[in-house]
Amino acid sequence: MAELIGDIGFLLGSIASDPATMFVVEDRGRDTYVNLLRTVQEARGILDTIEARTVVAIGDATRSEQVRSAQDAVGPELSAMPPLEELHGRADGKTRRDISLMTRRSPSGAGRTMASARRLVESMPTLLEAMASGQAATDSVYAAADATGVLDDDQRAQVDALLGERLPDLDGAGTRRWKQAVALAIGGLDPEGETIRHRRARKQRHVTFTPGAHGMATISAYMPAIEARLVHKRLTLEAERRVVAGKKGPHGAHMADVLHDVVLQPENTSVQTTLDVGVIITDRALFHPGSGDVAQIEGYGAVPAEAVRAQLLAVTAAPSSSQQDPFGADGPAIRAVIRRLYTHPTTGELVSMDSRARAFPPAMARFLTWRDTSCRGPFCNASIRQHDHVKPSARGGPTSLDNGQDACLHCNQKEEDALEVERVEDPERPGHRVAWTGYGGTTRTTTPSPLVEPERPAPQAEPERPAPQADSEHPAPQAEPEPTAPPVDPESAAGEDAEDGGRLTDATQDDECGDDPP
């Protein structure tokens, strides 16, 4: 099957990269392409079903190999073997890392895919067949399987049968309606268990921080539905009061302002709140907004320099009557502590420093956070939680920025779920590069996000074309000699190259913020 899919994939890849006249619409009607899209969607559902079965097979094979390896290690003393659940957990960690590397999903996303695929294959045959036949979208089927994670296999099979009966009604449903259908089925099958699960879910309430575009972000709260609805209604009513009072602007913006004021500027309180947020911005962007450099906010990433420039200037410049806070007289009180940092001239990464301590000292840990900005695990989007040795300290790895990287709690378990994680050097691609290799043999390389736009090499001149070969009947035309370029002074050339050996940047104090996605 792998060879067959590979041959078909090679053919389709050739067509996708060079379709010739296949997508020239003048010679074909709309129905031709509608039929092609319909066929592509049918094939995608079939491939997604095969992928689900393959993921489960990889997991089962890895579990078997883990058990056999443990048996070989203890020999006849089977009582010394670790519990089967523990062995399966180790195997699933390796499988999760392999799937993450092969499918370019985040580790948490790969774990959810594994769990949902196993539920579909083992106890939800109706939905699995619906995905293969195109009766239900892959996203909807996986959402339903994910929602049944609280059930046992028998209950999940009953939900699968109920959803199978409702397939005609769910034909145009999105993932939210599919999850609601699962919730209704679960409530009818196990009402007492649903009460217990709700009480358990209350203990998992949390707040997450998700970076957005253009210097914005989203804060989400996972909390009981009634309380969440009350919070939303309170924000809505307060926003409406501001509109009635004459405030301009959209309703949603007023809701965000109310939330900001309640959390960061509470009234009638004597408690002073101090929050540290790390901001990295080049001196050029700070004083010359047209430079094109972006700023970096720790725990967030790149933002337009203007998102922080005006406020930083307001608190760092010498006070004067002409200088006004851009946020008004009632704006937030911000105080900046400036530190100088230097970036590599070609990669845009921060330069390194060293330490002999096993634990990263505070200054170096903060430096790692500034350099990496988020978890360095392949395809991982989680926030930073720990400072990790690329080569473990127990194996002789030094405590240095060259051997350090930032990781979330999940990716810091790399010694268990990855075959090898190592620093790699590439003369053509300088910088802090870390290669992650899974037990399946797939290797992915991660690098820090550049803090400034890396310099691009000057375009090379096109090579001269060889002159046509002359023959006795048609001699080659003689080319006119090209003018000779003037000689270059080596000292002046070296001075130009060395002039931009590093870029000065400024950084304010920082602190970790945001939570990993659930």
Residues 428-487 have pLDDT tens digits of: 878 888 999 999 889 998 888 776 665 666 666 655 555 555 444 444 444 444 443 334
Region 255-269: mean pLDDT is 79
Buried b (16+ CB within 10 A) or exposed e, 11-48: eeeeeeeeeeeeeeeeeeeeeeeeeeeeeeeeeebeeb
- Give the type of residue at 297: I
Beta strands in 142-289 (DSSP E): 206-211, 217-222, 279-282
Exposure b/e, 485-508, CB count within 10 A at least 16 = b: eeeeeeeeeeeeeeeeeebebbbb
CB-based burial label for 405 (10 Å; 0-12, 13-18, 19+): buried
The DSSP secondary-structure symbol of 151 reads S
pLDDT at 57: 96
Q: Name the strand (E) or helix (H) holding 354.
A: strand 354-355
Predicted local confidence at residue 458, as pLDDT = 61
- CA-based radius of gyration for the chain: 30
Q: What is the pLDDT of residue 334?
A: 54
Report pLDDT digits (tens) over 114-157: 999 999 999 999 999 999 999 999 999 999 999 888 888 998 99
Residue 174 is predicted with a pLDDT of 85
Does residue 513 register a pLDDT over 70?
A: no
Residue corresponding to tokens 């911005």: 281
Contact 514, 299 (CB under 8 A): yes
Question: Residue 338: helix, strand or coil by DSSP?
Answer: coil
In terms of DSSP H, where are the helices of 148-222? 153-165, 175-189, 191-202
- Name which of 122, 107, 150, 151 is nearest 52 in CA terms: 122
Please check whether residue 161 is in contact with residue 172, taking contact to mean a CB–CB distance below 8 angstroms.
no
Q: Is the pLDDT of residue 227 over 90?
A: no
Confidence of residue 499 (pLDDT cuts 50, 70, 90): very low
pLDDT class of 170 with cuts at 50, 70, 90: confident
- Residues 507-511 have a mean pLDDT of 35
Q: What gap in Å lies between CA 446 and CA 317, rounded to an integer?
A: 38
Residue 318: pLDDT band with limits 50, 70, 90: very low
Q: How far is CA 156 from CA 59, 90, 120, in A?
A: 20, 25, 9
| Model pLDDT, residue 152 | 87
> Where is pLDDT greater, at 56 or 414?
56
Any residues with CB less than 8 A from the CB of 514 and at least 6 apart, and which? Answer: 208, 209, 299, 300, 383
User: Above 50 in pLDDT, residue 27?
Assistant: yes
| Amino acid 91: pLDDT | 94
Residue 64, token pair as written in the block: 């078997």
Return the closest-CA partner of residue 398 out of 429, 364, 374, 425.
364
CB distance 91 to 62 below 8 Å:
yes
What's the angle, vertex CA 75, arms to CA 73 and CA 79, rounded to 5? 95
User: Pairing mode, if any, of strands 295-297 and 279-282?
Assistant: antiparallel
User: Residue 9 — very low, low, confident or very high, per pLDDT cuts 50/70/90?
Assistant: very high
- 120: closest CA among 158, 88, 146? 146
In whole angstroms, how far apart are CA 121 and each of 53, 189, 280?
6, 21, 48
Check whether 267 has a pLDDT greater than 80.
Answer: no
Contact 403, 124 (CB under 8 A): no
Plot region of 156 (φ>0 → left; ψ -120 to 50 → alpha; else → beta)? alpha
Note the Cα 21 to chain centre separation in Å.
37
Q: Is pLDDT of 226 > 80?
A: no
326 pLDDT more than 50:
no
Percent pLDDT > 70 in the chain is: 72
d(CA 298, CA 366): 10
Gap between the Cα atoms of 484 and 478, Å rounded? 18
Burial class of residue 82 (count of CB atoms within 10 Å of its CB; 0-12, 13-18, 19+):
middle
- At residue 312, the pLDDT reads 65
Q: How far apart are the first and last CA of the chain?
A: 36
With a CB cutoff of 8 Å and minimum separation 6, the contacts of 282 are 291, 293, 451, 452, 503, 504, 505, 506
Closest C-alpha among 331, 387, 323, 324 to residue 358: 387
Instruction: Quote the pLDDT of residue 65.
Output: 94
d(CA 181, CA 74): 48
Overall average pLDDT of the 496-501 stretch: 34
**403 token code pair:** 């051997």
CA distances from residue 215 to 212, 294, 488 in whole angstroms, order as listed: 7, 10, 45
Q: How many CB atoms lie within 10 A of CB 284?
A: 17
pLDDT in tens, 277-302: 677 777 777 777 666 677 777 666 66
pTM (two decimals): 0.65
Q: Give the pLDDT of residue 45.
A: 93
Of 191, 481, 251, 128, nearest in space to 183 by CA: 191
Tokens coding 452 = 């400034």
Q: Which of 147-161, 175-189, 393-407 has the lowest mean pLDDT?
A: 175-189
Closest of 103, 123, 11, 124 to residue 58, by C-alpha: 103
Q: Residue 38 above 70 pLDDT?
A: yes
Confidence category of residue 345, pLDDT binned at 50, 70, 90: low
Cβ atoms of 308 and 279 closer than 8 Å: yes
The continuous run of DSSP H or E covering 407 comes out as strand 404-407
Instruction: Please tell me the predicted confidence (pLDDT) of residue 351.
Output: 56
Per-residue confidence (pLDDT) for residue 344, from 0 to 100 = 67
Tens of pLDDT, residue by residue over 92-123, are 999 999 999 999 999 989 999 999 999 999 99
